[in-house]
Structure 1
């Protein structure tokens, strides 16, 4: 458009407006031609004009004017008075014996500013963005859970008589108010983070402008705000609503229809985890449950009692059972690929009873991990050589699993023997706990709930075999032979799953053994007595059974493509069943 400057237009002198620019006045910040330099110099003799070649503009520091000697520039700095001063001020009595330095020394602050810019870009902004991503995740969880409960309430309400309509409407209103209150809190938290990020970006732009400018007064006025920004903002913790439906009875509609409550959703998100969520949050999966799971293949592994399995790759899987030898199998080969011979032996307290390395797992870097309940150790093996050993002293390991952060979770108890003969130790009930190890050093212990009661009770019917896994939402899932116990990363109880009604066709008590989670955060657990696998969601809601002719399912594992592997003891001959249950 005519009259607008273009990138290819030649810049003109600020005095004559015709000749091409060749010089620049760093004092007045104007462009000049060589002919007009003299005119510019005499146009304002009160200024000490610093005229340089155009290519060298902003190379000369622009010193501030002295507030006392108005015709002088402050090229000095009085450390005693913390003020820029001119040469006339230096010789005045006011600054006698004061420490004076060159104002040019303040230009060292440019390096500090450059470091601050780097810290903001590399650490602070990503942290803020990560925490905001966590807030959005919580908002999505709240929205999804409220939607599920709303649909459940509506469906149950349709089956009831008109006289309970007011009860349904009341609960729907309570749910809406719960959602509104928590959503407003999350949105307010989100707005605070957005404002903080806006302030950070504004400060960042200001710092970059200071770096581009030669105005030393800006350097003098600069104070770093990085310590303020490094104080990561808080993320509001909310409680999700929970609906507890009850059996329908005419005389107690309000009470028996169900009530709304809040369950704690207090996941722990540190700054590193928030950044990780922001940078690598996976796209929503399009997978859904198959109406009828399919058996892909089966493989006999030679154990009379197959206890546990752990996928190494899609076609390779470790297996352990009634032997001190752990074997690596390839689904496409007849014999096993290689073996890992452990040092596990008979339990000296119970002659004739052998307990092999029942609890095995594979770390993120592909190393095998197994538990030795007799030696009270957890051992990591690489290429048949022991890499690390965790000594548990008076505690016996029962299950182990790696975490997404590279830690190890170990569930253990302090029984004297490796089989469940009694619930007592030294006259007292024995204890069970989950311990997180980071770099093979104890980092966290999970044992009691908020009321000080055991999260993992030891009753006369609880199995001595416990299994453990971590879900994608960082929940910790444990089976104890009676229930699936799920706690969040901080160790707070989220729910207990004790089976589903109606039960499977075998109609036996729920006996959960192996446990694993998939890419959709489903929790899958083997039900030994009912010869099936239960699938529940991350909130503890039952989804369906997998019943593919299993006899005694124990350990479970899942590969990268969400194929399910089941350690099944069929006719005292252990076999691994590979299943497809997602489409």
Structure 2
């Protein structure tokens, strides 16, 4: 800061540095006194817009340049990733570096802050509120049911009169102890959720202050904590013991009074929420007797293979060329991305952060598209990537085949790191057929569901890789064999798979039991996905349409 420009002194003209400023040039971003206005306007090499200081528009709070005290950092060095001033540009340190306007960086960062704030306010915090309300309700029900237990014990005690008074008191004491244990655990669960809610309130408040301040330094240094809160706290569920009264026998009063069932406390680990599609634990939704078509999107491909939901009204699609398209329900093209290799992608998915990911078998890579920039996150050797899905743990599940197409496997990734491989069952037999298409999805219970078209089977293993079941179709009359292709799962842990040649969708429960079909005049259904409202999106192979279907 200029030694004569402290907060207690009048701000001076930027040109003469002696006379108090009265005007401001908005185009040059410079403060001027009365005497220097004419001198500044005499420079006809550039445009000017001088206004009284009190009428100047709000300007960004550019940081001071640490190298040049009188300058502000209005530019950004892409290679060094730091703010710089106009003098820094010409220095040897930044020679040949790509320089951009810092306002572009600020705009992107501000958009990220706004997105985080919206997610915290509209999705994450309300889910914590809902959880806190559920625990409160369960505590009330706990009081009621334990009251019923106490009453039942009293009634049994009256029948046995004085001979069983001591036993009655012991049983009531057992009940109270169990109740206290469960209440204590629920109170602890409430405290944990409340603490997280308090942290969220503070983060929301800080984000609002940062956005309101228009401070570049604060905005640039912001680090998102949203991923920390997407994984919800553990949710404790308790089960009230049952009471089983017995016929009175004075010889065996203590046993015949009736035991309490063992104390049951079940903790469900918190769900990991999608950033743009965060999903709370929904109520049970029954299947509709007659699923209905609610929208149809024209994609413009000759053949359409995959669809992946970005939101309730926006879907990514991939067809028989190198272009992946983001479309809305009115078939309007919002964004298109061309693969880096120029070849067709094999499959697409949307990450928990709302970014597009695609597989490119031509160069054996998995690629992430972030802010329209493509980066390779996985490169394979000896194996060819096929189908992909994002997981609750913010990673990927990837199906792949060997170079000679004689082996297939599923690999779990965290970033670019392999964490699990699924290829053989407990007897050492292959879980999946060689070659062919194998669409993949992770169920809500963390089962891994693969539509193995070559084996005409849906193969489901648990998160440890142990085979749970295989589904080979429903034994109803069909014109053609069951050849599953697309596969997806919903909030109810249903498994939905596309029966392409029979033009319908099979719905299974999480244990592989057939529930019903979805027809809706489908024509060669292929890729499937489900949005946060459990609407089904179906990519039709030959019509190039994505159909949105309500089935719950």
Q: TM-score, normalised by structure 2?
A: 0.50
Structure number with bigger Rg: 1
